Structure 1
Amino acid sequence: MVNKIKKRYNEIPLTVKVSTSYAVCSILQKCLSFITLPLFTRLLTTEQYGQYTIYSSWSGILMIFLTLNLAYGSFQTAMVKFEEKRNEYITAIQG
């Protein structure tokens, strides 16, 4: 039984495995933020929660421009596509 599962798992393409794990982690991250929202609203005052929300918004906006969102799509794809030349790809992206 275990050998059948391992064999079937090994037949799945690497891109499918990576994208599935990325999707699952993304969903878990959204669920955690949804669960912690009531805690924040009850523990913080309205002013403190507003400051936190503004900070979080600015952080999200700045991350888009500072990182060019390379970690949210092209980088993972490239790590799979250019498996033999990862260091060269990372150097080119950083440049």
Structure 2
Amino acid sequence: MHQRKTTTLIKSLLLATLLSNILIVSACSAESSNTPILSNQSTPAEIYELGLAYYEGNSVPQDYEKSFSLFKRAADQDYAPAKYDLGTMYYEGIGVEQDYKKAFK
């Protein structure tokens, strides 16, 4: 009788451990899949989306300087939404020194 209770308890603990490990792995992989990764073949739209993620602090820590840098990369490839947000950052002085002439450009 004592052995049966011990076996049942061990099975329950093993199952609980297995389920908690599965949940942890799932949470980690879901979190990392939300963060875009850039490559040398990244399109301006992908670069812009990562810049937007840094601007808003969405899936990554908020970082206006990184956001500005990524918007600039996309804008240099003639991506209109990036040009707009880059101009806004220059106008407001977000992540860069305020410069109305560059904002207008």
RCO comparison, higher one (Cα < 8 Å, 6+): 1
Structure 2 length as normaliser, TM-score? 0.30
Higher relative helix content: 1
